[in-house]
Amino acid sequence: MTSTTDALTASDSPEPADGTPADAGSASDTAAAGTRPRTRPRAPRTAANGDTPVRQRTPRTPAADGEAAPRTRTPRAPRAAADGDAPARKPRPVKRRAEGQWKLGYREPLNPNEQVKKDDHPLNVRARIENIYAKNGFDSIDKQDLRGRMRWWGLYTQRREGYDGTFTGDENIDLLEDSHFMMRIRCDGGALSAEQLRTLGQLSTEFARDTADLSDRENVQYHWIRIEDVPTIWERIEAVGLKTTQACGDCPRVVLGSPLAGEAVDEVLDPTPAIDEIVRRYIGDKNLSNLPRKFKTAISGLQDVAHEINDVAFIGVVHPEHGPGLDLWVGGGLSTNPMLAQRVGAWIPLDEVPDVWEAVVSIFRDYGYRRLRSKARLKFLIKDWGIEKFRQVLEDEYLGRKLIDGPAPEPLKAPRDHVGVQKLKNGLNAVGFAAIAGRVSGTKLTAIADAAERVGSDRIRFTPYQKLIVLDVPDDKVDELVDELATHGLSGRPSNWRRNLMACSGIEFCKLSFVETRKRSQDLVPELEQRLADINDKLDVPITVNINGCPNSCARSQIADIGFKGQLVEDDNGGQTEGFQVHLGGSLGLDSGFGRKLRQHKVTSAEMGDYVDRVVRNFIEQREEGERFAQWAVRADEEALR
C-alpha cells in the first residue's frame, strides 16, 4: 500500500515484490490470480533424534592465504565422432517463452490477472459497486472484483486485526482480508484548494474513523471505509474536483508534480498545463488503462519528484538553442528488483509532453511483459531493449518523428522537500510542514484548511515525501501559521528526524507487511530527537530514514541513507520477532545508487533507536569535511555500520 508508498501500502502502490505495490503481485493482485509465492518464514531444517542428519556441504580446502580455494572441475573433452558415426549434434537454441506482448500477437491471457482484465474491463466495476455491492454489503462482492478490478477505483481491502507477520502470504489471504477498505484519493500534482482539503478532512471524520495518511505519491489514503459508504464518498469528492479513478491498479497512477509548480523562483518552467492535460485526456480512458502493471509518472520544472524511480519522468532543463523544456527519463522503479530510470536524451517542449507521455504508455501497453507479474513493469522492457532501441521505437512507431537531443539537468546534492519557509515568485511565502511519516487525520486536515484560509491562502500542496505545503502566506502571517499548526503536531521547523523519515502503512493495515512501520515511527522520531540532541548542530547534511514493512519498498528503503526493510528475525530466545534488514547509503541525485547491505545483519524493531544512534554517531566521528552520509557509507568499515 505507497510512499502511505499497496491499505496495501502507504507508499502508494501496492508494489509487491515495486508495490503492485510493485514487482511481485500484491495480495489483492494474486488472490484474483490464484497463487503467490510463499512468504511465511520457514524454520531452519534440523535433524530429529534418530533421523538421517541434514546433509552438510563439505568445506573447501583453505588456500595458502587462508581463504577458501575456488572449486575446480576437470573439463570434459569434447566427444569426437568415431569413423562412420554421425556427427555430434549441435545444441538446439533455447526457445524463449512468450511474454504475452500484445504487439507481437499474444492476446490470450497468460496468468489469472490478465484473464480477469480480459473478462471485464476493471473500470466497469464502478457500476456494480454503486448498484449492487453498496446496497447489498461486503458479502455480495464478487471475488474477482474484490481482489482485482476494484483497485482501478482506489480500493483495497485492508488487513484484518490480530494477525502478525507470520500470517503474511497468499495462503492466508482469506484470513487477512478485512471487510473494510483502504481508499486512495488521487491528487495529481499534489495540488488542492482549501475547500478540497476541508472536504477530505470531513469525509475522514465521517467515514474513515478520522484516519488519513499522506503518501509519498502526493495522495491521501483513508482506512476503515465500508463498501456501503463508497458511492457517497465519490459523490462528495467529485463535487469538489477530486477522484479515485485509477488511483490503484494496472494503469497510469497519479501524476507527481512539484509542490511549488508555477511559483518556485528557480524552476525551469511550470509544467502544470501538461499535467492537467494528461489527466483530462487519458485518465479514465479504457484504451490506456489495461497495462501489464502499474505506471508511475513525474513531471516537474525542478528535481523534487524523485524522478529517477518513476516509469516515466519529464524534468525541467534549458536547451542551449531551444530554451526551457523537459528532459525525458524512463524505466525507474524499486521493489525487489530496483532500477533507476534512464535518460532518453531527448528535450521535450512543454506542449508536446502529453503526446510523448501517451506514446511511452502505449509502448508499455503493447510491448510490456504480461506473463509474470514480477517482470511486468516497464523497467524490465527497458533493461532488455536498451535505451537506444526504446527511443527508436518511440520515434519511429509511435510518434512518427525524431525527437530533439537535449542536455541533462545538473544533479542535486540532496532531495528537495520544501519543508520550512521559502519565498515565492509572487513575493509571498511557501511554508512546508512535516507530520511524522505522513500520518495526519481528518481533524488535522480540516484544521490545516481553516488555518490556511485565516492567513489568506487557498492553495495547499502535498509532496512526494509525505509532507504538505501551504502557499501564498504573507510575511507577517508566517509565524502565526507555524505556531497554529504546531498545536496539531505539524512542524514547520522540524528536526532532521521528523523531516527526513518516511514509512509505509505497515502491518497495521497492509496485507503484504511483516512488521509495524508507520505506528512504530511515531515513537521512533521523538526517541531520536532526544537521543541525538547533542549532535544535531553538527548535522549540516540531511540523513534520511525510510521504514518499509516488506520488500516492496513503497517507502523507498533502497534509496535512503538508512533504509529498513521489514522481515521476521530471530530473537534471543530462538523465536521470531519483528525486525529489519538494513540498507545504507542509498540516494538519488548526485549520489544516485542503491543502499549497501551488510551480510547477515538484522535489526529488531526494538533496537532501531539504538542502531540509528550508533551509526549516526560513527558518521559524525569519521566523516570528512563536507562528506554526505551516502558517500561515507560506501567507504566505511562494516563495523561502523553495524
Count of positions (residues) in the chain: 642
Split at pLDDT 50, 70, 90, the class of 284 is very high
Least trusted range by pLDDT, from 134-148, 268-282, 339-353, 404-418? 404-418
Query: What integer pLDDT is reported at residue 22 of this predicted model?
Result: 40
The strand order across the sheet containing 501-503 reads 501-503, 545-548, 562-570, 576-584, 596-604
How many of the other CB atoms lie within 10 Å of CB of 524?
A: 23
Query: What integer pLDDT is reported at residue 70 of this predicted model?
Result: 38
Nearest Cα to 313, choosing from 248, 382, 401? Answer: 382
- For residue 31, CA distances in Å to 34, 111, 170 come to 5, 12, 7
How many of the other CB atoms lie within 10 Å of CB of 173?
A: 17
Mark out the alpha helices in 129-271 (DSSP H runs).
134-136, 143-146, 173-176, 194-207, 230-239
Sort strands 429-434 and 459-462 into parallel, antiparallel or unpaired: unpaired
Which three-class secondary structure state does DSSP give residue 629? helix
In the chain, the domains with their CATH numbers are: 1-40+100-642 (3.90.480.20)
Question: Which residues make Cβ contacts (< 8 Å) with residue 120, sequence separation at least 6?
Answer: 149
Cα distance between residue 423 and residue 492, in whole Å = 14
Query: What integer pLDDT is reported at residue 414 of this predicted model?
Result: 82
Is the pLDDT at 10 greater than 90? The verdict is no
Split at pLDDT 50, 70, 90, the class of 39 is very low
C-alpha cell belonging to residue 633: 557509507
Question: Which residues make Cβ contacts (< 8 Å) with residue 236, sequence separation at least 6?
Answer: 199, 203
C-alpha cell belonging to residue 491: 512542524
Cα distance between residue 219 and residue 388, in whole Å = 34
Query: What integer pLDDT is reported at residue 536 of this predicted model?
Result: 84
**Average confidence (pLDDT) over 142-170:** 97
Which three-class secondary structure state does DSSP give residue 284? coil
Query: What integer pLDDT is reported at residue 96 of this predicted model?
Result: 73
Is the pLDDT at 50 greater than 70? The verdict is no
Split at pLDDT 50, 70, 90, the class of 119 is very high
The fraction of the chain above a pLDDT of 70, given in percent, is 85
Split at pLDDT 50, 70, 90, the class of 98 is confident
- 239 versus 21: which is more confidently predicted? 239
Residue 252's beta-bridge partner residues? 295
Sort strands 342-348 and 323-330 into parallel, antiparallel or unpaired: antiparallel
Is the pLDDT at 598 greater than 90? The verdict is no
Least trusted range by pLDDT, from 36-40, 218-222, 332-336? 36-40
Split at pLDDT 50, 70, 90, the class of 522 is very high
Least trusted range by pLDDT, from 79-93, 355-369, 591-605? 79-93
Query: What integer pLDDT is reported at residue 6 of this predicted model?
Result: 36
Split at pLDDT 50, 70, 90, the class of 95 is low
Contact indicator for 512, 6 with CB cutoff of 8 Å? yes
Is the pLDDT at 244 greater than 80? The verdict is yes
Which three-class secondary structure state does DSSP give residue 346? strand
Residue with cell 505556531: 483
Cα distance between residue 101 and residue 193, in whole Å = 42
Phi, psi for residue 105 in degrees, rounded to 5: 95, 5
DSSP labels for 291-331? -SS-EEEEEESSS-S-GGGSSEEEEEEEETTTEEEEEEEE-
**Average confidence (pLDDT) over 228-242:** 99
Split at pLDDT 50, 70, 90, the class of 572 is confident
Is the pLDDT at 553 greater than 70? The verdict is yes
- 52 versus 489: which is more confidently predicted? 489
Residue 562's beta-bridge partner residues? 545, 584
Split at pLDDT 50, 70, 90, the class of 338 is very high
**Average confidence (pLDDT) over 16-33:** 40
Which three-class secondary structure state does DSSP give residue 456? coil
H-run or E-run covering 480: helix 478-486
C-alpha cell belonging to residue 286: 479504457
